[in-house]
Structures are given as C-alpha cells and as structure tokens.
Amino acid sequence: AASIALMSATAYKKVDPPPAHLSKDTDADCIRRRMEAMLRKGQDKICAAIEKCDGQGKFRTDCYLNERGGGGISRVLAGGAVWEKAGVNLSVVYGSMPSETLAAARERQAQYAKELVPGQKVPFVAVGLSCVMHPRNPHCPTMHFNYRYFETEVGDWWFGGGTDITPAYLDEEDMKHFHGVYKKVCDKHDPHFYAKFKKWADEYFVIKHRGETRGLGGIFFDDLNDRDPLTIFSFAEECLDNVVPAYVPIIEKHKNDPFTEDQKRWQLLRRGRYVEFNLVYDRGTIFGLKTGLGRTEAILMTLPEFARWEYNHQPAPDSPEAEIMDAFKNPRDWV
C-alpha cells in the first residue's frame, strides 16, 4: 500500500518548513481538513514512537507542494538500529482520473461511475497517510498501514484503510496481540467490523501467482460510506491511534533476539514476496503509478532496501519456515 499520489515530477516543488495545511479548503471543520489534521497528528505520534524504539535512527522530512493545490509530507528513516527502512507519508491530492482508473481504484461502484463515458475525467481529492516499516531482525515483523479519504467533484465519498503485519517467523502470541488490538477497536465501533475486515485483509493481501498471502493479515476496508462520515472518521482515527500499541510491543519483544545468516536469508526471501505483491497487485501502487499523478519516490517508499529471490526455494519440512508458510497458504483466526 503505497502513499496516495503526490503529483507528477513536473508539478510539485519542495518547501521547508511544511505549511500549516496542504488542503485548498478554507473551512477548517470540513471533512478534508479534519482528515488531514488527524493524519498529521498520527504521523507525528507514530514517528516519535518509532524513533524512541529504534534509539538511533531519525526520520528525514520532505514536504512537496503542487502548483494545482495539495502536496505531501514524506518522513523516511533509513539505517536505524532496529529498522533498515521505515516511511510514513502524508498526501493531499487534487486531480482528475479516467473513469476506468476510478473503477480500478475501488471495490464498490457508485451508480454515477457506471454511467460515465470511458475515458471521461473524474475530478477528485484524496487525503491519506501510508506507512511501511522493515526491521533488521528477522524475528521482528514488517508492518504496513494506510488510512485515506476520497471525494469526487460530484459529491461521492468513501474511506479506506487498514493495518496489517508481515512476519518472517511465526509467534502466535504476537499475532494474538496484534489482531486482538484491532478486534477491540473494531468491536467498539461495530460488532461486525472485525470479522468482515479481517477476512477482507486475508483476501486482499494475496500473491495470486504464488498462492499465498503477503503476511498474516490484520484489517482492511475500502469504499466505506455506509454511515455518517464523521462516524467513519472516528473509526479511522482510533485505528490509527492503535498502530503503536499493536506493533511496537512486538518489536520491543524481539529487537534484540539473536538470529543466524540463514534466518536473515529467509527474511529477505519473504521481502521479495512483499515486493511482488506491491508492484503487481497493490491498489495504491497501481493508482499512483498508472494515473501519472504520483511522486515515484513516495510511492516506492514501501519497498525494502534489501530483498532476495532464489529459484524454486522450498523450506525444509517441519522447519519454522515451513510452519509460517502453512499460515501464509491457510489463513487462520488468531483471536
């Protein structure tokens, strides 16, 4: 899940410091401004927690403004003691996309979208925060989240997002903790959310040409607009607020675990799978690259610095690697 597009290379300029807001809206209470403010607060909170846990690495901040309005704030940590690479990217995008791209970017189809002429441009605004974190230690899982709001010129709107985890080795207690945090959040807002969004994650994060999932899931939702927007906003806000409680305790538990070269090799093989999913199937990456609206560095921030591919690699029977491969091929209920 790559960052929502930050506009093309010819349309943006770097600025320092970032402005108070990236939105063109003058009403601070509108949903677009509120979403941006909430996501920027979350970006600050999460980056601070990651820096504290890492103890060495610091996030580099880059802000870009687009001449047509909007822009983005990219925060990337590289070369940390715990994380090889971590990125948390905010985007506020104004643009137009072909009706076909709009359809590809969505799970649900609004009636007006079905009636658009092929190739017809659809003006939209998108506000989102995307993150991927790749730790050094093979016993520390990669984590991804994305929370976003879309709105078209004709007034159609929806929220999307989720948080998911990608370990190289299975620790069932870690998975119970991670999924348990998000089940608690979901249950607070709708008793049907967790089962629905957990299943959605299991079905979305599938590497179809491999017949396996990218990781061990979490929650994922898209095109959510079945209730008042501020109600969904509150749900997205609480999901974002729980990124640190769901993830950082797992990292603290494992960041000093000893590991072998073979375990590191396995981690890099699994990162290769991560790359395959992001470049072939991820909706955010496809949207950002194919619309021509994307700032490439922000979109591809999600990719690890190091990955590995080996011809027809098969884990040894009854090994820890085989154990987690079974979980990748057969999604489980963790809570």
CB atoms within 10 A of CB 103: 16
Quote the tokens at residue 196.
């629905």
Q: What is the mean pLDDT of the segment spanning 140-159?
A: 93
The reported pLDDT for the residue numbered 307 is 97
Which pLDDT value is given to residue 286? Answer: 80
CA-wise closest residue to 138 among 82, 203, 93: 82
Q: Which residues 6+ apart lie within 8 Å of 42 measured at CB?
A: 129, 147, 237, 240, 241, 243
Compute the half-sphere exposure of residue 69: CA atoms within 13 Å on the CB side of its CA.
13
Q: Pick from 173, 246, 189, 177: which is nearest to 221 by CA?
A: 189
pLDDT digits (tens, 9 = 90+) for 285-295: 887 777 666 67
Asked if 97 contacts 122 with a C-beta cutoff of 8 angstroms, the reply is: yes
Name residue 62's amino acid: D
pLDDT over 70 percentage in the chain = 89
3 pLDDT higher than 50: no
* Active-site annotation holds for 134: no
Residue 9: per-residue pLDDT: 46
Q: What is the mean pLDDT of residues 1-19?
A: 64
C-alpha count within 13 angstroms, C-beta hemisphere, residue 63: 11
**60-66, strands of its sheet edge to edge:** 12-15, 60-66, 70-78, 83-98, 121-135, 142-152, 157-166, 218-224
Nearest-angstrom CA–CA distance, 193 and 319: 35
pLDDT at residue 287, rounded to an integer? 75
Q: Cα 278 vs. chain centroid, distance in angstroms?
A: 10
- Give the active site residue among 144, 177, 179, 254: 144
**Residue 162: per-residue pLDDT:** 98
Residue 136: its pLDDT value, please? 98
CATH superfamily name and code, 12-329: Coproporphyrinogen III oxidase, aerobic (3.40.1500.10)
Residue 10 confidence (pLDDT): 44
What percent of the chain has a predicted confidence (pLDDT) above 90?
A: 77
Q: Is the pLDDT of residue 156 over 90?
A: no
pLDDT in tens, 38-68: 999 999 999 999 999 999 999 999 999 988 8
What is the rounded average pLDDT of the residues 134-163? Answer: 94
The answer to whether residues 257 and 139 touch, using CB atoms and an 8 Å cutoff, is: yes
Q: Identify the pLDDT of residue 15.
A: 93
DSSP assignment of 149-194 equals: EEEETTS-EEEEEEEEEE-SS--HHHHHHHHHHHHHHHHHH-TTHH
Pick the more confident residue, 115 or 263: 263
Given pLDDT bands bounded at 50, 70 and 90, which one contains residue 8? very low
For residue range 61-107, list pLDDT tens digits in order.
999 998 888 999 999 999 999 999 999 999 998 888 766 666 655 55
Average pLDDT, the chain: 90
pLDDT of 106 reads 58
Q: What is the pLDDT of residue 314?
A: 95
Check whether 6 has a pLDDT greater than 50. no
Q: Are 90 and 41 in contact (CB under 8 A)?
A: no
What is the Cα–Cα distance from 290 to 51, expressed in whole angstroms?
A: 33
Backbone angles phi, psi at 319, to 5 degrees: -90, 165
The predicted structure's pLDDT at residue 105: 55
Give 328's pLDDT tier (boundaries 50, 70, 90): very high
Q: What is the pLDDT of residues 108-147, one digit of tens each?
A: 555 545 566 666 778 889 999 999 999 999 999 999 999 9
